[in-house]
Amino acid sequence: MTTLDAGAAHVAASTPYAWPYDGDLGAAGTAVLVVRPAAVAWPHSVGAEYAHAGVGVVETVRSAGVPVISVITANPGGGSGTSAVDAFAPDATVSSPGIDGFYASALEDVLRSAGVSRLILVGFGLETCVHSTMRSANDRGLECLLVADACEPYDPELAHASVSMIEMSGGIFGAVATAASVIAAFTPRSAS
């Protein structure tokens, strides 16, 4: 029999607080959001380390029973999108005409109907669509975890500031962790 590590009630080394705050790492109530603008088929070969980390998180957390939701947002700066096939084979796909995945979309309804109260975020556009979606999720009372090394920025110079904003004031928008920490927390261990 395999179970989640009983000692891993939180994602190790999440900052600025131990995520989730209630210590419930169970699949019920948790979802992974793979956020990306319509113009980008993510994961892709540019920034392969982010894509590799994102794939690892999605595969591990999905195998623990956590649903994966693809959130496709408008393109920063305008322009038309692509009809790229989603490489993650999500359980649901939500499209938003704005940069924020909640804007004029069914995302909140999808999450509420599934009983989701905790989100793990990965994707492309850290400082744009990922960040905007995370802030809106927090405003709706959802506890968020940004997987920093699985969120590819448009501009790498803005990545540190984007992460820092989340961690301000004790985690004003949620917590931040690495892909390795999330994978370790959701990897089943043999029960003794």
Residue spans of the domains in the chain: they are 29-184
Q: What per-residue confidence (pLDDT) applies to 148?
A: 98
- Matching residue, tokens 């999500």: 90
CATH architecture for the domain at 29-184: 3-Layer(aba) Sandwich (3.40)
Provide the token pair at 111. Answer: 């999450």
pLDDT digits (tens, 9 = 90+) for 166-181: 999 999 999 999 999 9
Q: For the chain, which ranges sit under pLDDT 70?
A: 1-8, 44-47, 79-86, 189-192
Q: What per-residue confidence (pLDDT) applies to 40?
A: 83
Considering only CA atoms, which of 139, 138, 140 is closest in space to residue 176?
A: 138
Please give the backbone phi and psi of residue 135, each rounded to the nearest 5 degrees, phi first: -60, -40
Helices and strands, counts by H and E, the chain? 5, 8
Considering only CA atoms, which of 130, 129, 133 is closest in space to residue 148?
A: 130
The DSSP bridge partners found for residue 11 are 19
Is residue 188 within 8 Å of 3, Cβ to Cβ?
yes
- Matching residue, tokens 């990922």: 130
Is residue 82 within 8 Å of 41, Cβ to Cβ?
yes
Q: What per-residue confidence (pLDDT) applies to 45?
A: 59
- Give CA angle at 29 (24, 31), nearest 5°: 110
Q: What per-residue confidence (pLDDT) applies to 46?
A: 59
Considering only CA atoms, which of 162, 91, 170, 164 is closest in space to residue 133?
A: 162
Task: Work out the number of other CB atoms within 10 angstroms of the CB of residue 167.
Answer: 19
